[in-house]
């Protein structure tokens, strides 16, 4: 029986002594875990410096179940709208100053 290994993004402390699973959100706001079929697929979406670990699906499900997360997404694609540079708002019009008598 072949063992499917997912490449799962994690975060680590500055010293590298603690590793935590990185969770994401679906469009409807629910949390989900993601896995990638290859290290290259993970790096293509999250960047080459993204820390990762290898987990089988059962192990990943066991890790996320106590967190109330039950959705896994394999090889997700970026669905966020592209980031645009906000336009610089016009300067406010000068206001009249009140004189106190």
For the stretch 43-88, pLDDT in tens is 999 999 999 999 999 999 999 999 999 999 999 987 666 566 666 6
Taking the domains of the chain in order of start, what are their residue ranges?
5-74
Instruction: Give pLDDT, residue 93.
Output: 65
- The token duo for 2 is 């072949």
pLDDT at 98 over 90: no
- The token duo for 49 is 């410096």
Instruction: Give pLDDT, residue 1.
Output: 47
CA distance 61 to 69: 8
CA distance 101 to 97: 13
């Amino acid at each position: 029986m072949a063992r499917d290994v997912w490449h799962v993004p994690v975060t680590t402390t500055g010293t590298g002594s603690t590793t935590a699973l990185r969770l994401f959100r679906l469009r409807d706001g629910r949390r989900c875990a993601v896995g990638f079929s290859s290290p290259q697929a993970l790096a293509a979406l999250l960047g080459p410096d993204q820390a990762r670990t290898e987990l089988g699906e059962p192990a990943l499900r066991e890790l996320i179940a106590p967190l109330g997360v039950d959705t896994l997404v394999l090889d997700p694609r970026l669905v966020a709208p592209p980031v645009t540079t906000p336009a610089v708002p016009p300067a406010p019009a000068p206001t009249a100053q009140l004189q106190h008598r």
